Amino acid sequence: MAVAPVKAAPVKSTLRSGTLGFPAMLGQGIALISPTMTAVLIIPLAFSNAGEGTWLAYLFGTVMLLFVVLCLNQFAKRSAAPGAMYTYTARGLGPATGVLSGWTLLWCYLFIGTAGLTGFAIFFQQFLDALGATITVPPDIFFALSAVTCWYIAYKDIRISTLVTLALEAISVTLILALAAVVLFSHGVHIDTAQVQLKGVGIHGMSLAVVACIFSLVGFESPTALGSEAKNPLRTVPRAVIWSLLLTGLFMVIMGYVEVYGTRHYGTPLSSITAPLITLSQIYNVAFFKAPISLGAMISFFSLSLSCLNAGARLLFPMGEHMVFPSHVGRVHPKNGTPHVAITVYIAIMFAIPTVLELVTNPVTTFGDAGTLAAFGFLLAYFLITIAAPAYLRRRGELRARNVVIAVIACLCLLVPTIGSFYPVPPFPVDIFPYIFVAYMAVGGSWLFILSRRRRGILGEIETDLDASIDAHEQRAVPAAVAEPSLAGPDVIPSIT
């Protein structure tokens, strides 16, 4: 018997529009990239491959991802709607690919948020140790503390949520830069010629380091998830995307240089140091930095989970509205104007992952594995948006040769970390992670196929709803974008994007 098509629920978003200014959007992007995470944990990994060229590897990674940003901003400067790259990819490659992109990013933000919970637990314990406490708190307690606090802030008000992430990350970065200043200037100003001259740096090692560096910089796209809640979104969102990448990239270049320089004459090579900032504070006789650095890292990982919760929930929200997921997920709190059901569902899953894994492993292992798993999702999402950009511009009759060139360069740049994820073959269990991700995507594709069979015509209805939603946001955004000048000057955005 034929199944009658069921019409998808119309998109009636009541998220608060015009709420978030540029600082809040910038804070969302920087918090999800989490430069603190790179400074405290990942730079030694890059050094193990690039050596004296660690700073240059981060510069290369930033420039390579800049081409992806240029593709992403073709959408961000033309439209604003809930769902970020889910809606963008759908506009370029069709609703089915858009749903798969959203499915991919749900994976990304979920596992990066999990890494945030575990990082919070690791550095909270280090903070207690630095204060001289003799107690060891079960990690599950820290997971719960971070998750519940994240849920409450995200549930109450997106303005508070994003400004909290900006403030916390700013505190952490300030503390790290203060330590960097001690390292660089405590004995006068010296140029590290070994790093400047790239002594002993090889192409193979540099290429492997760039993979780690690129994975350190993912998350710059997250301000697009909050586009419908931004002030002057057609200007604010693309600025937040590009400046979150540039500022964090610059910070990582500086810290790569500082950590290599500061540990040069230390007995243990940087690649074998598990807590480089704590080690630097000991080397330069500023051990009092140990507690503030641990505190800064702790609050930075909290803001990472909070930013992932904000972004992930705003992907679930439109997918609930379009009935890809149960329609309850697409509800908005009548008073707070937040997608409270999506927020609750997302943080519950995020909390469950490290809590269950704690039965068989530890937070440090979970942290590394979660970050690696998320990386595969980011690569696929970036490939999709890069391919979608010229297709989208072609539909609008605005495609130019330079757009195609930028998209091709972006795809070539993304091949570097993609190939690096498979060769050389990593040890078990990391070597099976790509196949776990493929299985996850197969589940998403199967669910979409089943849904399209049960609800014939739903993909067309999603496309119609997206067009109506985005057109409505464009009409609200254009006058505001024209009325308010950019903080960066009138010519910055056109020249960058």
Cis? peptide before 429, omega within 30° of 0:
yes
Q: Report d(CA 176, CA 184) in Å as an integer.
A: 12
Q: What are phi and psi of 473, to 5 degrees?
A: -70, -35
Q: Is the pLDDT of residue 380 over 80?
A: yes
- The amino acid at residue 329 is V
Q: Is the pLDDT of residue 496 over 90?
A: no
Q: Report d(CA 251, CA 249) in Å as an integer.
A: 5
Record the pTM: 0.86
User: Residue 340: is it exposed, middle or buried by C-beta count within 10 angstroms (0-12/13-18/19+)?
Assistant: buried
Cα maximum dimension of the chain: 83
Confidence grade of residue 351 (pLDDT, cut at 50, 70, 90):
very high
Give tens-digit pLDDT for 1-59: 444 444 444 444 467 778 889 999 999 999 999 999 889 889 998 999 999 999 999 99
Give tens-digit pLDDT for 60-97: 999 999 999 999 999 998 877 665 678 889 889 988 89
CA atoms within 13 A on the CB side of 363: 22
| Chain mean position to CA 106 | 11
Closest CA to 84 of 374, 340, 385: 385
Q: Report d(CA 6, CA 172) in Å as an integer.
A: 50
**Integer distance in angstroms from the first to the last C-alpha of the chain?**
52
R_g (Cα) of the chain, nearest Å? 22
Can you list the domains of the chain with their CATH numbers? 22-496 (1.20.1740.10)
Q: What are phi and psi of 354, to 5 degrees?
A: -70, -30
SS3 per residue for 122-157 = HHHHHHHHHCCCCCCCCHHHHHHHHHHHHHHHHHHC
Cis? peptide before 35, omega within 30° of 0:
no
